[in-house]
Amino acid sequence: MGLAATACSSSPPNATESDAGAEGGGEPCGLICGDAASDAPLWVQVKGELDLVCGSPDGCHGAGQANFGVHPGAEFTDMIDVTSTENPPMKRVVPGDPSNSYVYLKLRCEGGIFGQCMPLGNPNPATAKLFHDWIEAGAQTQ
């Protein structure tokens, strides 16, 4: 099975047409559909997680918490090679180096961080592994 390149068969609540990929040149939507998730490139899976959890209207980073904004079409802008505001001089994501990537440490929730684990109130080992694998593979964005 493969990921539909233009739109998913379902969208998150309150999604607009552009969120689902119907407008804007057919960008993949943030929701990875069904069993296609494991076939999708890592960056698509990470983008989906960022869009649905971190940058959603209810997510902390949709509102720019910790000077770290996650917005559709710019999910990676405040993340890769950007200094952490909670733990400078660490970078949020160091391509190829999950152990020195603050975002991964926050997701892993096993120490070395300040403040709360991510996602707030719902740390998830599968999400931490996804980000680990994406960072380790070079933190590609397309």
DSSP label of 91: B
Q: Tell me, rounded to whole angstroms, the distance of Cα 135 from its chain centroid.
A: 11
Return all residues near 115 (Cβ < 8 A) that are at least 6 apart.
66, 86, 106
The whole-angstrom separation of Cα 93 and Cα 102 is: 6
21 with 50, same domain: the answer is no
Residues 6+ apart with CB under 8 A from 80: 92, 93, 95, 139, 141
pLDDT 10s digits, 126-135 = 999 999 999 9
Q: Which of 10-24, 39-53, 113-127 has the lowest mean pLDDT?
A: 10-24
Q: How many domains does the chain have?
A: 2
pLDDT in tens, 60-79: 675 556 667 677 887 888 88
Q: Does the pTM exceed 0.75?
A: no
- Comparing 69 with 94, the larger pLDDT belongs to 94
Let me know if residue 141 belongs to a domain: no
Would residue 124 count as lying in a domain? Answer: yes
Q: Is residue 142 part of a domain?
A: no
